[in-house]
Amino acid sequence: MDIIRYIVSGVLGLFGLYVIVMNWFILVKTIISKKFISYFPLFGGASLCIAILILPNNPYPWLGFFALVLDIGCLPLIICSLVGFAMEKYKKKKMRSKSD
């Protein structure tokens, strides 16, 4: 049974690392080209997190949650989106108060 968990963990881990690297590549390409290119959110960080969590005999399963921070399509993207929405709402409120 452990061999199956190692295989599934390896496949999920490689997929997660690939998606994380591609998300960072997309971010760099977006900054350079000044065009928005869509991310593949949550899949890289989530699959790498699951891969670390299901490893048999893993003494540090909590390290899997760092994958969610490492992937730009997960936690950093959510935080940046929330900050952007808050700033947009603040700007609209400020413009509305100026017009009154």
- pLDDT, one tens digit per residue, over 60-92 is 988 888 888 888 878 877 888 888 888 888 888
| Mean of per-residue pLDDT scores for the chain | 87
Asked if residues 25 and 71 have their Cβ atoms less than 8 Å apart, the reply is no
Lowest-pLDDT choice from 6-20, 24-38, 40-54? 24-38
- Is the pLDDT score of 6 beyond 90? yes
Say yes or no to pLDDT of 7 above 80: yes
Closest CA to 45 of 21, 22, 74, 24: 74
Residue with tokens 């065009």: 35
Q: Letter for the amino acid at 59?
A: P
The closest of 72, 20, 27 to 48, measured between CA atoms, is: 20
Distance CA 87, CA 93 (A): 10
Grade residue 54 by pLDDT with cuts at 50, 70 and 90.
very high
Amino acid at 55: L
